[in-house]
Structures are given as structure tokens and as C-alpha cells.
């Protein structure tokens, strides 16, 4: 009997496996439709937006994005939406995979402490967004109420080695990027489409460091990429990779050899590529200030043997000195007042956030730098030999050749618009990480170092 001829009473019952990003449920191997029971709980929870920054997220399943749901074309879905008794707001769900009023929203208006149920049949294969559609809809989405549902085609998806779930969202907080404490939602910023944060998977750093995605050379990687919005379009790109296949907007037709793919707000894409060369690959929204200044940055770490015919690495490094170069300044408008550290531990925490905002793009997450371009901060003889000199570099910028750990560097260090308190915090963080000598830099030391430098 075919899927289309089956009736709900004849279908086997399957409880849906739901996963938190970046994990996805296992591919569906059954060759028949089923009655799939999905149970999804809405919770309103305070979680980390960035180091030192918290936010009250409204969630499908306790995290942003919401749980990944995986079903098969022609499945009959029994959908249960539960709203936790501690919630302060009613919620519902609009699944773009549903054919019916509001994508299910009309049937799932759920008050705190209540549960609603509706059924739908998965008619069309594809990768679809779901989100809350309770008024004010934009605010519910902006607080993190979105996720992805994959409706696999009857024949299934081609087998790959790794699958991951990555979803972008823009967030609107009263404080600017990095302003510490519990940040409230700012409706005016949302209406102006001017987010404080643009992030993958609900927070700055969700896909970096220990949270980075992983693969091995020779493996094929599939990324289920969504964009919850509520406002911005994503220009999704993996630096150093070319997508072999992109199923644009979550559809069934693959475009090949794609560098960057647009993912609209409320849309999705499936990207696939083979990992040929080992190294670290950066995931970004290629509206690039969002990546390096608002948080839309992740990492894929690929391990395995090198193939110098595919990628040689640097083979020549020499001095090139054009005319007209000068120290650049990086203006930072509307910078929030720096929090005043009351202890070394607090200084370290604040410094970690400042490092991610201002330094990590060049000097890298673990201070390793980029050979031939940006000197390492890890075990840096230049830094450890003279902390006051390093303070001057942060405060005033640097141009010209220096030697760090036996290597020559001749790039420009921009002048950063940081307060004495912020310089003290970020210098303390760097000194106490990656094999450096430790200690604490104070704002008084920063002022003294700058006064000494300006007198010479």
C-alpha cells in the first residue's frame, strides 16, 4: 500500500526525536509514512547572550533556536504545544511546513500552564522555519521563538558524514553590544531594524572554541541553515569553502558551486560541501560587520592530513612597504560606559568580552594570531617583556615592523576607542591566558603608561 493510500489508523506511531542546535536528529530510514507525535514545550528563560550579558529568551524547548524536528513526507503529525506554567505570556506556533490556517497558529494559542494539540499531514518535502505568531509577532520572534523542521522526501536525503543545525537571529537590546547585565528588549531598535546582536544559535560564541563544529578531511558536511530574523536577511558563507550543493530557501533543487547563499528572514537553506583541507573554517554572515562586530560568527574545525597540491600554506613572506600608509582609527559610536571592575575576576570576565569584540578577529580565539599578518598574543615575548609598551599599542595603535616570538610582522594595528578601564580589562585578560605571565593591569597603570609614552 502506498503512503497516500494509508489512513491515520493504519500508520505506526513514532515519537519524534527532538534535538538542540547544533545537533540534528538521525536521518529517517523508514520507507513508509508514520503517525509522528511531536511534543514541544515553550519556556521563558534567562540565558547568556554574550559574556557578561544576559537576556530573557522566549523559547521552543529551552534553547534558541528551538528544537530541530525531523519528519518524512506524507507523515501524519500529532503536534502537542505545551506552555510552561511559569511563562508570563501566551504563545502559539506557525510551522511553515503546514498547509492550513496560520501554519498551525490558529489552532495552538496556548496560555501559560496549558497544552494544545492539532494534526497535520506533511505534504511537501523541504527545510522549513517555524516560529511563534502570537501578537506582537515580531517581539515573540525577536526574543528567540523560532526553529527548523525538516520534511525529508520519500526517498530520503543523500547520505553524508556530518549534519549540523545553524540558525541566525537578530536581537534588540536596550544596551549596545557588550553592555553588561540583564538586557531588556528594545522595541524602537526592532522597528528601526538596528540590532545590537546578530548571532548564530542564540548567543555570541555559540559555535566557537569548545563549541566549534568538527569534521575530518574527506568527510561531507551538511548544514541545515535557518534564519529566524525577525528582520535581517543572512548572507551565509563559510570562509575557505565552496558549497558543492545549496538547496536554496530549503527547496528540492540544488544549485552547485556556491560561495555565499542568501537566507531570507523566515527562510532556510541546506548547504553541503566536502572537507578537503584541514584547518579552521569560519562561518559568517557576509554582511561582514555583523560577523566581527555583532556576533554572527562560528567555526568548523577540520582535522586530517594535509595535501600541499590542494593548499600549500604560506611559501613566501617578505616586506612590502607602499607609500601613504598611516595608523587607522576605528570609531565606535554610542559606546556604553565601561563597567568598573571590583575584582581581578570581574576584570577578567569583562576583558574576555572586550577581547571577543575588538581583538579576536585578527589575533584569533586562542591568541594564536595569523602567521605573516597578525602577531600571536599567546606566549608572546613582545607582550610579556614590556606590558606598558603593549598598553600603548592598544591605546594608540601601531605601525611598523616588530618581532614577536622570532617572527617579523609589519601590519597596522588600528587605534581602538577604548577607555582606560576597558584597556585594563582586556590587557588583564590577555596576560592571564595562553601561557602569558599573568598579573593585573589597573586603569591607573594604563594612565601612567600613556603619560610616559606621550612624554617621549
Residue 361 has a pLDDT of 77
Percent share of the chain, pLDDT over 70: 92
Q: Is the pLDDT of residue 40 over 60?
A: yes
Distance between CA 170 and CA 139 in Å, rounded?
11
Res. 87 pLDDT band, cuts 50 70 90: very high
Compute, in degrees rounded to 10, the torsion defined by CA atoms 91, 97, 101, 106: -20
Out of 189-193, 342-346, 373-377, 414-418, least confident range: 414-418
Per-residue CA distances from 367 to 27, 39, 430, 438 (Å): 38, 43, 8, 14
Distance between CA 38 and CA 22 in Å, rounded?
19
Residue 335 has a pLDDT of 45
Residue 334 has a pLDDT of 45
Mean pLDDT of the 209-233 span: 97
Residue 5 has a pLDDT of 46
Distance between CA 75 and CA 230 in Å, rounded?
29
Res. 318 pLDDT band, cuts 50 70 90: low
Name the H helices within 359-419. 360-363, 381-385, 387-396
Mean pLDDT of the 290-305 span: 95
E strand intervals along 286-437:
297-303, 329-330, 402-404, 407-409, 415-416
Name the H helices within 137-246. 137-142, 187-191
Residue 261 has a pLDDT of 98
Compute, in degrees rounded to 10, the torsion defined by CA atoms 418, 422, 427, 433: -120
Mean pLDDT of the 288-300 span: 94
Residue that wins the pLDDT comparison between 443 and 412: 443
Mean pLDDT of the 113-128 span: 98
For residue 209, what are the contacts with CB-CB under 8 A and spacing of at least 6? Answer: 299, 365, 366
What are the φ/ψ torsions at residue 286 (nearest 5 degrees)? -75, 5
Residue 316 has a pLDDT of 72
Q: With beta carbons less than 8 A apart as the criterion, state whether 140 and 132 touch.
A: yes
Q: With beta carbons less than 8 A apart as the criterion, state whether 155 and 212 touch.
A: no
In which element (H, E) is residue 444 found? Answer: helix 443-455
Residue 452 has a pLDDT of 73
Out of 136-145, 208-217, 346-355, 376-385, least confident range: 346-355
Q: Is the pLDDT of residue 2 over 70?
A: no
Q: Is the pLDDT of residue 152 over 80?
A: yes
Distance between CA 292 and CA 299 in Å, rounded?
13
Mean pLDDT of the 195-205 span: 97
Q: Is the pLDDT of residue 396 over 90?
A: no
Res. 1 pLDDT band, cuts 50 70 90: very low
Res. 423 pLDDT band, cuts 50 70 90: very high
Mean pLDDT of the 208-235 span: 97
CB atoms within 10 A of CB 123: 11
Closest by CA position to 16, among listed 150, 157, 123: 150
Distance between CA 248 and CA 331 in Å, rounded?
37
pLDDT digits 0-9 by tens, 164-186? 999 999 999 999 999 999 999 99
Res. 9 pLDDT band, cuts 50 70 90: low
CB atoms within 10 A of CB 198: 24
Enumerate the β-bridge partners of residue 25. none
Q: Is the pLDDT of residue 47 over 50?
A: yes
Res. 358 pLDDT band, cuts 50 70 90: confident
Q: Is 146 exposed, middle or buried (0-12, 13-18, 19+ CB in 10 A)?
A: buried
Amino acid at each position: 500500500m502506498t503512503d497516500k493510500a494509508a489512513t491515520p489508523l493504519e500508520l505506526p506511531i513514532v515519537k519524534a526525536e527532538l534535538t538542540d542546535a547544533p545537533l540534528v536528529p538521525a536521518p529517517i530510514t523508514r520507507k513508509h509514512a508514520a503517525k509522528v507525535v511531536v511534543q514541544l514545550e515553550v519556556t521563558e528563560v534567562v540565558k547568556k547572550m554574550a559574556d557578561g550579558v544576559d537576556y530573557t529568551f522566549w523559547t521552543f524547548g529551552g534553547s534558541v533556536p528551538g528544537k530541530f524536528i525531523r519528519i518524512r513526507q506524507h507523515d501524519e503529525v500529532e503536534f502537542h504545544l505545551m506552555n510552561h506554567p511559569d511563562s508570563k505570556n501566551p504563545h502559539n506556533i506557525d510551522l511553515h511546513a503546514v498547509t492550513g490556517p496560520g501554519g498551525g497558529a490558529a489552532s495552538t494559542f496556548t496560555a501559560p500552564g496549558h497544552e494544545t494539540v492539532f494534526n497535520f499531514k506533511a505534504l511537501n518535502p523541504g527545510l522549513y522555519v517555524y516560529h511563534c505568531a502570537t501578537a506582537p509577532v515580531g517581539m515573540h520572534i525577536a526574543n528567540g521563538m523560532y526553529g527548523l523542521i525538516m520534511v525529508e522526501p520519500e526517498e530520503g536525503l543523500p547520505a553524508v558524514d556530518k549534519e549540523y543545525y545553524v540558525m541566525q537571529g537578530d536581537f534588540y537590546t536596550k544596551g549596545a553590544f557588550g553592555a553588561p547585565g540583564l538586557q531588556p528588549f528594545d522595541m524602537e531598535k526592532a522597528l528601526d531594524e538596528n540590532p545590537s546582536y546578530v548571532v548564530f544559535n542564540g548567543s555570541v560564541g555559540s559555535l566557537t572554541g569548545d563549541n566549534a563544529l568538527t569534521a575530518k578531511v574527506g568527510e561531507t558536511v551538511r548544514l541545515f541553515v535557518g534564519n529566524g530574523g525577525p528582520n535581517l536577511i543572512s548572507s551565509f558563507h563559510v570562509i575557505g569553502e565552496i558549497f558543492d550543493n545549496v538547496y536554496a530557501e530549503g527547496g528540492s533543487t540544488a544549485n552547485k558551486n556556491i560561495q555565499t547563499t542568501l537566507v531570507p528572514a523566515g527562510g532556510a537553506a541546506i548547504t553541503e560541501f566536502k572537507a578537503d583541507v584541514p584547518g579552521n573554517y569560519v562561518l559568517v554572515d557576509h554582511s561582514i560587520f555583523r560577523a566581527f562586530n555583532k556576533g554572527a560568527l562560528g567555526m568548523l574545525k577540520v582535522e586530517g592530513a594535509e595535501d600541499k597540491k590542494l593548499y600549500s600554506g604560506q611559501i613566501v613572506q617578505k616586506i612590502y612597504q607602499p607609500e601613504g600608509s598611516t595608523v587607522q582609527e576605528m570609531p565606535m559610536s554610542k559606546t556604553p560606559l565601561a563597567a568598573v571592575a571590583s575584582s581581578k575576576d570581574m576584570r577578567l570576565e569583562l576583558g574576555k568580552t572586550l577581547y571577543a569584540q575588538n581583538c579576536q578577529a585578527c589575533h584569533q580565539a586562542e591568541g594564536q594570531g595569523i602567521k605573516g599578518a597578525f602577531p600571536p598574543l599567546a606566549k608572546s615575548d613582545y607582550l610579556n617583556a614590556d606590558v606598558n609598551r603593549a598598553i600603548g599599542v592598544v591605546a594608540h595603535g601601531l605601525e611598523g615592523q616588530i618581532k614577536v616570538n622570532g617572527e617579523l610582522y609589519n601590519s597596522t594595528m588600528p587605534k581602538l576607542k577604548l577607555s582606560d578601564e576597558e584597556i585594563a580589562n582586556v590587557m588583564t585578560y590577555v596576560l592571564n591566558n595562553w601561557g602569558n605571565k599573568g598579573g593585573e593591569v589597573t586603569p591607573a597603570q594604563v594612565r601612567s603608561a600613556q603619560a610616559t609614552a606621550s612624554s617621549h
